[in-house]
Amino acid sequence: MIMRIIFLGPPGAGKGTYASRLSPILKIPHISTGDMFRAEAASGSELGKKLHDIMTSGALVPDELTVEILKERIQKDDCKEGFILDGFPRTIKQAEMLDQATSIDVVLNVKLDQEILIKKMTARRVCKDCGNIYNIADIRIGDLHMPPLLPEKEGVCDKCGGNLIHRKDDTKEVIEDRLKEYEKKTAPLIDYYTKKGLLKDVVVAGGPDMMIPRILEMIGK
């Protein structure tokens, strides 16, 4: 059964963590736009060179180019049984362009209170080499418990052995600005996909070990 999934939700809600854990279970690739851009830019293709110039200039990748790269990516053999999109679409325009490129089976909208999001994101640690994400926060609020996601060796990525860093933009002020931007640009996608009958809310009640089985049940797996 083909399963084409989109993860929606504010920054830090856990989209990337859930997508990366679901990917091997469902045997479909987790496609992050950031990873996709980096891979294409490193490929040496004409498209990659164009993308590299845009990224090094600090400009945003145009929607048309993003969709072009995504279309190329989802035509690869590993996407025959589906894929998980993380980080795209971000706007209604992107969603409409995506509709022209492929069909989507389910949109999972990850919901987490802003207070918890800020606690979680300020405690995030990222591998500077592969981008793998960890978290040092042990959040306990009411019945909710989100245990830390720690590497086996402190400060060292389990995946590639790279150093873990605290990103400069993972501060309370920057995060609050990013959440406002999300509400303005990306939150309208919730209505867009609700009207299409594709949206399912994923209300975060604990760590990934609790949530992954719930998500699998929601999508009938």
Query: Which two tokens mark 176?
Result: 């609050």
Q: State the Cα angle at 95 between 9 and 196, rounded to 5°.
A: 85
H-helix segments, the chain? 15-26, 33-43, 46-57, 63-74, 92-101, 114-122, 172-185, 188-195, 208-218
Neighbours of 56 (CB within 10 A): 9
The residues annotated as belonging to the active site are 15, 90, 124, 167, 178
- Enumerate helices (H) and strands (E) in the chain, giving the number of each: 9, 10
Where do we find the tokens 């980080």?
Answer: 87
- 36, 131 in Cβ contact below 8 A? no
